[in-house]
């Protein structure tokens, strides 16, 4: 056997084969049981079957490797010797629990079987040994239920049905009211259910029970809920689960026995208090099953003072040893305390921050460890409202969690309805529900507490805007059917009328009918301390995506070091602005006037073009003051920090309504024929507008649009400078695919800027760069860098064009792709490092080398897609040497912490620090 791999590791009796740093092999539970044994904590003896066995189990067609079986048998003998009982013995039987335990905690996702080893013979042995027949048969009926439902696929409800029937017959309400004789009868009924559905009797060979239970735990590794949990938590690369077989100790042997679950600190707040529950005369599953109401752990001091004092000592010992908050399980058997588990406890974002900072103050960990210990995504709990954890929550549907936080509000089905509701019922919360949103909906989106859409993904319009504004948002909720005419929606078959309450959880994607209480986010002093530590070690700067002074100020509160993306199109949808914008778009380039018939065809074309240009310029002249004031506000809010302003990017059709009613309203507002509006919408229609007339193509076809925006930017910068404030505008030209496009528009922008500065008699520093979002731009980055003073990677479009995915439509198949492991994650959520990442890395390297060679200057490089707030994507940006990432205001702290963790992980640093 010595030549065989070691598949089984024993623990107990103050020694163990394994230790805490063997989690990848023994799983978290097994490694910690071994560690507790070694450091002198009372642990029932047992053994761990490694994760490598799980991997081989699947490789062998769901069969255990032959060499593992004799090792399991030897480990049973060791456990018997340590415990002083024999597995399957009818007089002095050893009973065991069989539990899962992966390297990363997956609470409740895999199978557990308790009381294994009970048979018709050994149950009588337990009854005689304990003098408690009821206890023995209660354990036996639990085993048949657990074993049947987890190992043999019998529906748990079938056993519950028998339990309910017997309680009705006996006229009792609680399981605990059934007598020993009743439980003997229940065991008979359970065995009949088992035989009916399995086709054979409940196994009376304990070894057969054990081997089937081990298989069941391994099978649960690829169960639906375990797979889904790993997907949600982004857990990958694990070999499988370990299996822990451990001698049973019993908390249900009377008033001197009990069981409990506790945390060494409060997992909700981080407060340094012992937190948890326990039950007297109960088994472990009773605490979490909700059958009985447990007592708070502090009361154990009254019920079992000696045990409580011992438990408090173990609490301190575990925290000191592991230097982290622990989640523990314990059982007291007739006055003797046993520890069944310890692991790093799950905690809220606020608790994570508090615990990390307090442990530094206590000298348990250093600042670097504190930074590494907090999951950046968990900071959402500190920044946005969440559902009240005390509230009863019953989700009726689940969509894609697009923007975190929770919101309750009365349903409105359009932006106009939101505006009307706000006028009629000021201050009343509303929830905007749409099939999908468009830029026309921004007024309603702004008024809403939260946004829910039936379609779309994490990079959809609703998702992007909601994240930027810090509004909870759930998208792609296919269970919703909207009937705007009837004024109602249907969710999973349940009708909800406009004006009735709906609640969404943008952190999980859950949708609830009715009003669920929420709690406001609270940022503690510990949060500021942790952010200070993070800022000391990170090399990657963090900017924000902001389109208004309000957003800019909020981002600065969260530590933003500039604006990496100001989307100018969002500024055109308010009040008179949208009217003037539509006037510009609806200019008729083919309008005939009296006298035109006397001109030649060439002259007529020229005259019409001049008139159209003059009309567009007139509309743009009306828009320019608004743009200028917008930029002044943003520049002043950022107080000298760099502000990257993207020139108009979306296609013009997005500014016009596509329905007859909306087109008629626009026509009436502008005093023109509705047919003209309809005709213009049809002219602007494109088969694939994301690849059509937008970005730099729009500015080349209609240069006056870009001229107006550049003029407004420079005029605003000059005004802010005159007011005595520093200002640093960066003009970004979007969707460039060739250097010629950039050169054409850059030359024009410089001419406009020079004209404005000459007229003002003063100069301002500014940069002109481009957004790298077309694959060709990344491939030819060396040429483009000859003209660009900075690059900003627009990873939403770059991902879309590289994969050939429509970001608004990927929800129809992305779940299938991830489940089938075709893709590890949604590439619009986490940057695709191996594909899109290659283009980015190439673009950074080629662009910087070319710029350095041509001008001797450093090419500033950042990212401004939604990936800028995703921790894994931030780590990638650090590795390829970017200068900054840019994300929505409420993701700024998350990016700051992620950047610090990336710096501590090592690898490439940003170029300015080399």
Q: Which residues are catalytic?
A: 461, 864
Q: Are strands 860-863 and 884-887 parallel, antiparallel or unpaired?
A: parallel
What DSSP letter does each residue of 82-135 carry, written as one string?
A: HHT-EET-SSSEE-EEEEEEESS--TTSS-EEEEET--TTHHHHHHHHHT-HHH
Alpha-carbon distance 229 to 548, whole Å? 38
Alpha-carbon distance 668 to 657, whole Å? 13
Alpha-carbon distance 486 to 52, whole Å? 58
**Three-class SS of 35-46:** HHHHCCCCCCCE
Instruction: Decide: 406 and 389 in contact? Cβ < 8 Å.
Output: no
Instruction: Decide: 488 and 502 in contact? Cβ < 8 Å.
Output: no
Q: How many Å from the N-terminal Cα to the C-terminal Cα in the chain?
A: 54
Count Cβ atoms within 10 A of the Cβ of residue 763 and give its class: 0-12 exposed, 13-18 middle, 19 or more buried: middle
- Residue 267 DSSP one-character state: T
Question: How many other CB atoms are there within 10 angstroms of residue 495's CB atom?
Answer: 13
Alpha-carbon distance 311 to 300, whole Å? 10
Alpha-carbon distance 582 to 575, whole Å? 12
Alpha-carbon distance 328 to 275, whole Å? 10
Question: How many other CB atoms are there within 10 angstroms of residue 223's CB atom?
Answer: 15
Which has the closest alpha carbon to 883: 795, 788, 790, 778?
Answer: 790
Token pair of 241, please? 């689960």
Instruction: Decide: 376 and 894 in contact? Cβ < 8 Å.
Output: yes
Alpha-carbon distance 576 to 391, whole Å? 44
CA distances 731 to 305, 332, 529, 593, 678, Å, are 70, 69, 35, 39, 34
């Amino acid at each position: 056997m010595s030549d065989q791999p070691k598949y089984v590791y024993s623990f107990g009796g103050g020694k163990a084969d394994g230790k805490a740093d063997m989690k990848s092999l023994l799983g978290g539970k097994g490694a910690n049981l071994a560690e507790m044994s070694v450091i002198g904590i009372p642990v029932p003896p047992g053994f761990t079957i490694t994760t490598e066995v799980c991997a081989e189990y699947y490789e062998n067609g769901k069969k255990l490797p032959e060499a593992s079986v004799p090792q399991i048998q030897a480990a049973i003998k060791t456990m018997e010797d340590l415990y002083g009982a024999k597995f399957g013995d009818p007089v002095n039987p050893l009973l065991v629990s069989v539990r899962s335990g992966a390297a990363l905690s997956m609470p409740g996702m895999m199978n557990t079987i308790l009381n294994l080893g009970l048979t018709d013979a050994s149950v009588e042995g337990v009854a005689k040994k304990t003098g408690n027949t009821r206890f023995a048969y209660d354990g036996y009926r639990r085993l048949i239920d657990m074993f049947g439902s987890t190992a043999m696929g019998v529906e748990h409800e079938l056993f519950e049905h028998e339990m309910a029937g017997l309680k009705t017959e006996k006229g009792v309400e609680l399981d605990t009211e059934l007598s020993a004789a009743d439980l003997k009868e229940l065991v008979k009924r359970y065995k009949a259910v088992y035989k009916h559905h399995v086709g054979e009797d409940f196994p009376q060979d304990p070894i057969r029970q054990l081997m089937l239970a081990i298989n069941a735990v391994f099978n649960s590794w690829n169960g639906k809920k375990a797979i889904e949990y790993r997907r949600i938590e982004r857990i990958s690369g694990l070999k499988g689960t370990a299996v822990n077989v451990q001698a049973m100790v019993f908390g249900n042997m009377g008033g001197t026995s009990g069981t409990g679950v506790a945390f060494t600190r409060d997992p909700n707040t981080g407060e340094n208090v012992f937190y948890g529950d326990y039950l007297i005369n109960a088994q472990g599953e009773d605490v979490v099953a909700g059958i009985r109401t447990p007592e708070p752990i502090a009361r154990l001091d009254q019920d079992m003072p000696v045990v409580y004092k011992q438990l408090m000592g173990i609490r301190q010992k575990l925290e000191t040893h592991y230097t982290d908050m622990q989640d523990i399980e314990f059982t007291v058997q007739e006055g003797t305390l046993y520890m069944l588990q310890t692991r790093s406890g799950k905690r809220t974002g606020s608790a994570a921050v508090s615990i990390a900072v307090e442990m530094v103050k206590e000298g348990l960990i250093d600042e670097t460890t504190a930074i590494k210990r907090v999951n950046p995504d968990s900071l959402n709990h500190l920044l946005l409202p969440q559902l009240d954890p005390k509230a009863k929550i019953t989700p009726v549907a689940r969509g894609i969690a697009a923007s975190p936080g929770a919101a309750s509000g009365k349903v409105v089905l359009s932006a106009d309805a939101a505006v009307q509701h706000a006028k009629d019922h000021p201050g009343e919360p509303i929830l905007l529900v749409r099939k999908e949103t468009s830029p026309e909906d921004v007024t309603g989106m702004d008024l809403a507490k939260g946004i829910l859409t039936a379609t779309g993904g994490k990079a959809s319009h609703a998702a992007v805007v909601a994240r930027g504004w810090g509004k909870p948002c759930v998208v792609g909720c296919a269970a919703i059917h909207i009937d705007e005419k009837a004024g109602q929606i249907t969710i999973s078959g349940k009708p909800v009328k406009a004006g009735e309450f709906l609640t969404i959880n943008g952190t999980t994607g859950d949708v609830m009918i009715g009003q669920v209480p929420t709690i406001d986010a609270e940022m503690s002093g510990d949060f500021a301390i942790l952010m200070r530590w993070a800022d000391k070690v990170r090399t990657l700067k963090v900017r924000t995506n902001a389109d208004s002074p309000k957003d800019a100020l909020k981002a600065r509160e969260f530590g933003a070091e500039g604006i990496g993306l100001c989307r100018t199109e969002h500024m055109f949808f308010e009040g008179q602005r949208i009217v003037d914008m539509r006037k510009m778009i609806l200019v008729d380039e083919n309008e005939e006037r009296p006298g035109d018939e006397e001109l030649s065809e060439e002259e007529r074309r020229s005259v019409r073009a001049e008139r159209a240009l003059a009309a567009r310029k007139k509309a743009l002249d009306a828009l320019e003051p608004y743009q200028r004031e917008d930029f002044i506000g943003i520049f002043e809010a950022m107080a000298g920090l760099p502000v990257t302003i993207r020139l108009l990017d979306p296609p013009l059709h997005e500014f016009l309504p596509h329905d007859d009613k909306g087109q008629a309203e626009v026509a009436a507002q502008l005093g023109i024929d509705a047919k003209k509006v309809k005709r213009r919408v049809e002219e602007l229609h494109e088969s694939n507008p994301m690849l059509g007339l937008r970005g730099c193509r729009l500015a080349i076809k209609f240069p006056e649009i870009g001229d107006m925006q550049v003029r407004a930017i420079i005029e605003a910068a000059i005004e802010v400078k005159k007011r005595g404030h520093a200002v640093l505008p960066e003009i970004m030209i979007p969707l460039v695919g060739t250097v010629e496009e950039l050169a054409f528009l850059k030359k024009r922008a410089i001419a406009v800027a020079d004209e404005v500065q000459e007229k003002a008699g003063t100069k301002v520093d500014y940069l002109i760069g481009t957004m790298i979002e077309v694959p060709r731009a990344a491939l030819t980055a060396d040429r483009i860098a000859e003209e660009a003073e900075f690059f900003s990677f627009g990873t939403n479009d770059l991902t879309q064009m590289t994969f050939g995915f429509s970001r608004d439509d990927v929800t129809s198949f992305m779940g299938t792709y991830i489940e089938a492991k075709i893709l590890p994650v949604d590439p619009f959520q986490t940057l695709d490092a191996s594909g899109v990442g290659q283009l980015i890395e190439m673009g950074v390297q080629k662009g910087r080398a070319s710029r350095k060679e041509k001008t001797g200057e450093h090419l500033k490089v950042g990212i401004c897609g939604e990936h800028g707030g995703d921790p894994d994507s931030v780590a990638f940006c650090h590795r390829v040497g970017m200068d900054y990432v840019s994300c929505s205001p409420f993701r700024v702290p998350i990016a700051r912490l992620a950047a610090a963790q990336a710096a501590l992980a090592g690898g490439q640093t940003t170029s300015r620090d080399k």
